[in-house]
Chain A
Amino acid sequence: MQAQHSQTTPAEFEFRGSASEYFGIWIVNLLLSLLTFGIYSAWAKVRTKKYFYQNTYVAGRSFDYHATGVQILIGRLIVIAGIVAYTILAAIPLVNLVMLLGLIFLIPYLLVRSLRFQARVSSWSNVRFDFEGTWGSAAANYFLYPIIAALTLYTTWPFVTRSIQRFHVNGHSFGTTPMSFDSPIAPFYKAFFCSALWVIAGIVALLAIVGVNASTLGAFRTLENDPGDIAALLTVLSIYGFLILVMVPAVIIYHAMVRNTVYNYTILGDGHRFHSDVSALRLLWISISNAVVIVLTLGLMLPWAHVRRARYLANHTIFIPAGPLDDFVGTVSANVSAIGDAYGDIEGFDIGIAV
């Protein structure tokens, strides 16, 4: 094989798309979606995914996305019909309770279906991914363990995160090649403490700037008595805004550090490994400056923001092969409906997958 020499050297992830090229795709997608009252958005999603997947290369071979617009549209129509029916029926109190119980079972099911769909329509080097995680495991990871962690005042949250990542990575396979992830708990606690540190620093800064004690609590009381008091209102609002400024970055920092850990401890097949060295602060800077730029340009710089983020993540991810890249074998797996995926699109469940 002529590619023998390159097989043991690390292969970098690279993103070859450009902001100007993606802008054209994005704006045409948006126009067609607007003109069709959102119907085209199913095809727009496919086109966007294809652009990002096909421009992401590892060892010179690209990913690909295979879902079709029709698939996505049907999934969305079913989910919208479901949400509308749910919302109207939720006005009836008893039915509401029954449906809420039903949702507890439905959500883990949709989550697994969503992951399976996303895996089966993704490929690299002509081999598709698959996901075989179970419904029960999803319910345990997303409902049971968080409740248990809450009982420990969230001090055991890193264990929940590690368990969720195990559920994700171990459930995935690349063709017939399994993926596995396991790691000591220390890196997860490190991420947890770093984001906790950010929260504490933020609250200290808040206290220093606003000067808590009497004046802040006073503002709440003043507002209760005299709702028209603008100064008190501003104080309360700034506290609220500041909390967003503290909490959102803490989550970003946590995700970034967890991402590194997950890549660094994931093994594909017999020993292909990955390496990620994303900097939490750098990613935080990218996220915040992206948001500011998007708002200032009425959303027109959204494509630039996406490309910037994708490029940063790709540039800090490496694949370390342990053997030839030509030997992966795919499987023919049945198509799975896009309902779970559509539910994720619209309701936006945060599955916390580290990509």
Chain B
Amino acid sequence: MDRLEDDIGAPVHGRAYPPLSSREIPARLAVGTNTVWLIDDQGQITTRCAPEELSVESRVGATERRVNFPDGTLFLTDKHAALEHLLADTRGSRLHHAEKFHPRLIVITLACLVGAWGVWKYGLALLVALAVWMTPPPLVATIDAGVMQALDQVLTEPSALNDAEKAEVQDSFDRVLAAMGPASDDHDYTLEFRDLPGMGPNAFALPNGTIVVTDDLVRRVSTDALAGVIGHEIGHVAEQHGLTQIYRSLGAFILIGMMAGDTGPVLEQVLLEGNLILSLSYSRQHELAADRFGVDLAKKAGFDPDGLSDFFELLEREFGDQGTDWLSTHPRFEDRLENLKSVTQGH
């Protein structure tokens, strides 16, 4: 024991395992000014190192504290206070202190509930906006080109409209776009004509600004209604609904996956279905927002703001309502008409 003369403080008892071995030996830790020793119950020194070479893991609950020697020897002890005193080690102790079952946890719990609500309500929207902003424009352009190419191969026919009809729609399109002012340069807005047999009067927008109108739409609705529809599609592009929806469902998925961790087999199912239904609700909100945007824009461009409402009434007469609304990507015509009333009559 003569080598341990500068031993300071009481030794810490525990158990140790030699490197790469499951052999368990009772041992104690002793600390000198420049050396740390591990001593077995026969008083033999098993291993030693300089204090700064020792890796002490932070405390997790009441489990034994792990001390790793550089040669791979592992020492475990539940003498927490003695070890902290001996090594003057306080790393992780603040975290451990905060975790103790104490009335303070009520405050932390409330903060978590508020935080979870805030992340869901605002944080996710912020992350999504950031992701949309970071998406490189050439990639979005590639999406438009790729989707159009695929559609032309499998679904659409070339438009059968004559040049005069096309020119008239193009003129409305240019007028509506011009009403946006400088914001119209934010995206690469282009108008495409296609025949989509069996799809009826329809239009859709791709994220980079490609807006497709079907022959049926051009032939069957008034100029004012068409301006409203074009405005609606421009609204989807301008407010970046496509990318937002992709990122939103992805973001919710990733956040739940990382934060909740393992929620058990029953709840996992429920969360999965719930997320799907929620993302449909965002899709419906986007439709209503695009409706308002479209009517507003058509009005600014000098068209009759009731055009879009007339179009929905036509669709409602012809196709009826699509059914229960919380399992649908589009709101009911009734709701869309109601929504538009607030815009057209409010101003």
Q: Which residues of A contact B (CB under 8 A)?
A: 3, 16-17, 20-25, 27-28, 30-31, 33-35, 37-38, 41, 45, 47-48, 50-51, 54-55, 61-62, 64, 76, 80, 83-84, 87-88, 91-95, 124-127, 175, 223, 227-228, 233, 244, 248, 251-252, 287-288, 290-291, 294-295, 298-300, 302, 305-306, 309, 325-332, 345-348
Q: Given A61-B24, A93-B150, are A24 and B254 also a contact pair (CB < 8 Å)? A: no
Bound-complex Cα distance A228 to B325 (A): 9
Asked whether, in the complex, the Cβ of B257 is within 8 Å of the Cβ of A88, the reply is: no
Bound-complex Cα distance A348 to B150 (A): 31
Number of interface residues of B (CB under 8 A): 66
The distance from the CB of A318 to the nearest CB of chain B, in whole angstroms, is 19
- Which of B95, B112, B265 is within 8 Å of A30, CB to CB? B112
Interface presence of B261 (CB below 8 A): yes
Asked whether, in the complex, the Cβ of B147 is within 8 Å of the Cβ of A92, the reply is: yes
Bound-complex Cα distance A330 to B74 (A): 13
Interface presence of B314 (CB below 8 A): no
The distance from the CB of B58 to the nearest CB of chain A, in whole angstroms, is 9
Asked whether, in the complex, the Cβ of A23 is within 8 Å of the Cβ of B101, the reply is: yes
Q: Residue on A with the closest CB to B135?
A: A88
Asked whether, in the complex, the Cβ of A55 is within 8 Å of the Cβ of B258, the reply is: no
Interface presence of B345 (CB below 8 A): no
Q: Residue on A with the closest CB to B25?
A: A326
Q: Given A27-B105, A287-B266, are A54 and B64 also a contact pair (CB < 8 Å)? A: yes
Asked whether, in the complex, the Cβ of B150 is within 8 Å of the Cβ of A84, the reply is: no
Bound-complex Cα distance A64 to B66 (A): 10
Q: Given A34-B119, A54-B60, are A84 and B250 also a contact pair (CB < 8 Å)? A: yes
Q: Residue on B with the closest CB to A2?
A: B26
Offer 14 A-B interface pairs, CB within 8 angstroms, sorted by A. A21-B62, A22-B61, A23-B101, A34-B116, A38-B255, A51-B63, A54-B60, A87-B250, A91-B207, A94-B150, A127-B20, A299-B260, A302-B260, A327-B23
- Which of B142, B149, B207, B266 is within 8 Å of A248, CB to CB? B266
Asked whether, in the complex, the Cβ of B99 is within 8 Å of the Cβ of A25, the reply is: yes
Q: Which residues of B contact A (CB under 8 A)?
A: 17, 20-24, 60-64, 66, 74, 95, 98-102, 105, 108-109, 111-113, 115-116, 118-119, 123, 127, 131, 135, 139, 142-143, 146-147, 149-150, 207, 243, 246-247, 250, 253-255, 257-270, 321-324
Asked whether, in the complex, the Cβ of A41 is within 8 Å of the Cβ of B22, the reply is: no
Asked whether, in the complex, the Cβ of A83 is within 8 Å of the Cβ of B255, the reply is: no
- Which of B63, B74, B264, B267 is within 8 Å of A54, CB to CB? B63
Q: Which residues of A contact B147 (CB under 8 A)?
A: 91-93
Q: Given A37-B123, A328-B22, are A92 and B259 also a contact pair (CB < 8 Å)? A: no
* Residue from A3, A91, A298, A325 whose CB has the most chain B CB atoms within 10 Å: A91
Besides A61-B24, A83-B254, 10 new A-B residue pairs in contact (Cβ under 8 A), listed by A number: A16-B63, A21-B61, A24-B98, A34-B259, A62-B64, A227-B322, A290-B266, A302-B263, A326-B22, A326-B23
Bound-complex Cα distance A298 to B63 (A): 28
Bound-complex Cα distance A3 to B26 (A): 12
Bound-complex Cα distance A325 to B25 (A): 12
Bound-complex Cα distance A233 to B328 (A): 14
Which 8 pairs from chain A and chain B are nearest by CB?
A227-B323, A92-B146, A126-B17, A93-B150, A24-B99, A291-B266, A34-B115, A328-B22
Asked whether, in the complex, the Cβ of A27 is within 8 Å of the Cβ of B265, the reply is: no
Q: Which residues of A contact B119 (CB under 8 A)?
A: 34, 37
Bound-complex Cα distance A22 to B100 (A): 9
Asked whether, in the complex, the Cβ of B257 is within 8 Å of the Cβ of A345, the reply is: yes
Asked whether, in the complex, the Cβ of B261 is within 8 Å of the Cβ of A48, the reply is: yes
Asked whether, in the complex, the Cβ of B22 is within 8 Å of the Cβ of A127, the reply is: yes
